[in-house]
Amino acid sequence: MIEVKINDESFAYDIHSLIQAFYGGQEVQVRVKEAFTEEAPVQMDVQITEQEISFSIIQNGAFQEKGHVYVENPDRKAVKNQLKKLMYDKLCAFTGETLPWGTLTGIRPTKIPMAMLEEGRSNLEIARYMWETYDCSKEKAALAISIANREKEVLKNLDYEKGYSLYVGIPFCPSICLYCSFSSSPIKVWEKKVEDYLTALFKEIAFLGKAYAGRKLNTVYVGGGTPTTLTAEQLERLMTCIEQNFDFTYLQELTVEAGRPDSVTPEKLKVLKDHKVTRISVNPQTMNQKTLDLIGRRHTVEETKQAFYMAREAGHDNINMDLIVGLPGEDIEDVRHTMEELKKLDPDSITVHSLAVKRAARLKLFRDTYEEMGLKNSREIMDLTYRCCVEQGVYPYYLYRQKNMAGNFENVGYAKVDKAGIYNILIMEEKQTILAAGAGASTKFVFASDHIERVENVKDVKQYIERIDEMIERKRSFMEKNSLLSD
């Protein structure tokens, strides 16, 4: 355990995030206090005044690293950057390690180059800023800048002011994966409540369609959970409900996750094709059977291949496949095997996720058991996935990061030309309002780049069904207050 003593709680989150990035497997406690209180082998002291920032690392009662800087600019962002740079330098010296993203601990690193591109800055200017301000590695800075340029191109025809997107959540899965912390439930447990859920969901969809009538709907994303756990008939009614309540005149993308191969059937794929779904996901996570068995994916590698070919036969020409690197027991050769198998399938896009174990996941609850198997990720693995993707003609188009991510790396979406997921970019860059319906769904109202407000639904399926009128009224009240309702 690492104990961190601070005098200013306003920077506690930033301090914790940076230290945790160096010590992924350890508990880090950051608290305002006068003196150290724990028998921690490593203690750290952060003191911030109007004139000076100081940082010390103490191990077994002796100072190992310490330093201070004078505050150059009292602006909070400037102070935060100075604080994190001082800490980063000392932590690098103490641990002998560097981080690929330097002091950047936020989940959206591409927002920095995107904002600078929109200001007219050159790629070189942006790269120098990222190196000097955040100690970002040249490789990661180049990745972020190249993705920001591609994002800018993909989004160039969108109307941020009058345009919006829609998310529809189906919180059911065939089974719950070991690492999962999303708002999802096993379909067998909730089978008798699915119709009640859809009734509530359709009511919310109808409200949202009327509330935003007259605006330009640009993308729709039906996610979860796994939407294809619904029957073909239920899926048909869901897609019909969306079509009947929203104007698709300006629609550029309609995505439905068919993520679990064990939920895909020819009938469901036909429903999606008939409703002009433009993009689907068939997600293997890994192409190693031993790992699938371990993490609770109750399907085989062969079933993943069959689901993919089934989707191609149904006419789907934009298929994404999600992978996770850093899964229990997998090393670089396991990842290489997965990438080789995907190359044979030739998907239109690949999303490579670095495993992020959140609080709710069973993998976190039984950490000791699975850490014995190893939760490995490395620059070599991330470089391997990058090379393999580029070699098969899919190139980076969006990127995000999460807390507690294996190796402190990132999630990267790769896509062929004209196959980039527009919704994925929008949710990361936060440039457009995204209305959200369903249990656990979070509507994000974007007023400006520095003014975003959320209105969230309850996560529990039973509560969502029972409180659907409250969920709708919550949105209606917010929209009325901010003059967003259509006449």
Residue 6 sits in a domain of what CATH number? 3.40.50.11830
Q: Is residue 223 part of a domain?
A: yes
What's the confidence (pLDDT) of residue 188? 64
Q: What is the rounded average pLDDT of the residues 123-142? A: 96
Mean pLDDT check: name the lowest of 79-88, 254-263, 410-419: 254-263
- pLDDT band for position 13 (50/70/90)? very high
Give residue 407's pLDDT band: very low, low, confident or very high (50, 70, 90).
Answer: low
Other C-beta atoms lying within 10 Å of the C-beta of residue 173: 25
**Burial status of residue 303 (CB atoms within 10 A of its CB: 0-12, 13-18, 19 or more):** middle
pLDDT at residue number 374: 44
Residue 361 scores a pLDDT above 50? no
At residue 247, the pLDDT reads 97
Residue 481 lies in a domain: no
State yes or no: pLDDT of 176 exceeds 80: no
Together in a domain, 339 and 316: yes
Average pLDDT over residues 82-106: 95
307 and 424: one domain?
A: yes
Q: Domain range holding 183?
A: 163-472
Query: Residue 371 has what pLDDT?
Result: 47
Residues 395 and 261 reside in one and the same domain: yes
Same domain, residue pair 309 and 436: yes
CA distance 163 to 264: 32
Report the candidate in 427, 418, 351 with the shortest Cα–Cα distance to residue 150. Answer: 418
Residue 360: pLDDT over 50: no
> How high does pLDDT run on average in the chain?
90
Domain count, the chain: 3
Instruction: Kindly state whether residues 129 and 184 are assigned to the same domain.
Output: no
Distance of CA 128 to the CA centre of its chain: 27
pTM: 0.89
Distance CA 251, CA 277 (A): 11
Average pLDDT over residues 181-186: 52
Q: Which of 87, 122, 154 is the last residue of a domain?
A: 154
Same domain, yes or no: 73 and 149: no
Q: Mark whether 464 and 446 lie in a shared domain.
A: yes
Per the CB < 8 A criterion, the answer to whether 27 and 100 are in contact is no
CA of residue 212 relative to chain centroid, distance: 26
Q: Verify that 87 and 213 share a domain, yes or no.
A: no
The answer on pLDDT for 175 being more than 80 is no
Mean pLDDT along residues 379-389 = 92
Q: Which of 81-85, 93-97, 188-192, 208-212 has the lowest mean pLDDT?
A: 188-192
Residues 396 and 326 in one domain: yes
* Residue 487 domain-assigned (yes or no): no
Q: CA angle 69-72-77, nearest 5°?
A: 100
Of the candidates 291, 301, 413, 303, the one whose C-alpha atom is nearest the C-alpha of residue 363 is 291
Give pLDDT, residue 186. 62
Can you tell me the distance from the alpha carbon of 322 to that of 312, in angstroms, rounded to the nearest whole number? 17
Whether residue 336 is contained in a domain is answered as yes
Task: Transcribe 418-484 into DSSP letters.
Answer: T---HHHHHHHHT-SEEEEESTT-EEEEEEETTEEEEEE--S-HHHHHHTHHHHHHHHHHHHHHTT-
Task: Name the strands in the sheet holding 52-59, side by side, starting at the edge strand that comes first in the sequence.
Answer: 28-32, 2-6, 42-48, 52-59, 62-70
Quick one: pLDDT at residue 362? 45
The DSSP letter of residue 356 is B
